[in-house]
């Protein structure tokens, strides 16, 4: 159901557009984010932005994405996250897995 909130086991499937600021490029942050998202069964992708931030588009259960956000705040050992911005919307169901976008 494109553009609609879907429900699974009593919990809605949503989309989160996440922007991570800090020392998050050149420290393995995208690979870290992809590992965590894949392990949690989320779909979408992660990319570097030209301004030094990292951006994720993630779809899945809201509680699972919230757990992902907690892990993203920590990041890999060399990262230093200073800010995470999240915009929530309805799931699009356009992703079948989680990818690193270049």
Alpha-carbon span 49 to 20, nearest angstrom: 10
Whether the per-residue pLDDT at 1 is higher than 70: the answer is: no
Alpha-carbon span 48 to 32, nearest angstrom: 13
Alpha-carbon span 5 to 8, nearest angstrom: 10
39 among known catalytic residues = no
The per-residue pLDDT for 11 is 83
User: Tell me: the pLDDT tens digits for 33-91?
Assistant: 999 999 999 999 999 999 999 999 999 999 999 999 999 999 999 999 999 999 999 99
Which residue is catalytic, options 30, 35, 47, 94? Answer: 30
CA atoms in the 13 A half-sphere facing the CB of 68: 32
pTM exceeding 0.75: yes
15 among known catalytic residues = no
Which residue is catalytic, options 48, 53, 80, 94? Answer: 48
- Angle formed at CA 71 by CA 23 and CA 6, multiple of 5 degrees: 120
Domains of the chain and CATH, by start? 6-95 (3.30.70.100)
């Amino acid at each position: 159901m494109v553009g609609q909130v879907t429900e699974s086991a009593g919990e809605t499937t949503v989309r989160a557009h996440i922007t991570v600021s800090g020392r998050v490029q050149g420290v393995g942050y995208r690979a870290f984010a992809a590992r965590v998202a894949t392990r949690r069964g989320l779909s979408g992708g992660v990319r570097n932005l030209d301004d030094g931030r990292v951006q994720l588009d993630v779809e899945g259960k809201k509680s699972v994405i919230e757990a992902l956000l907690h892990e993203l705040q920590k990041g890999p050992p060399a990262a230093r996250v200073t800010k995470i911005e999240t915009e929530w919307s309805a799931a699009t169901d356009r992703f079948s897995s989680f990818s690193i976008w270049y």
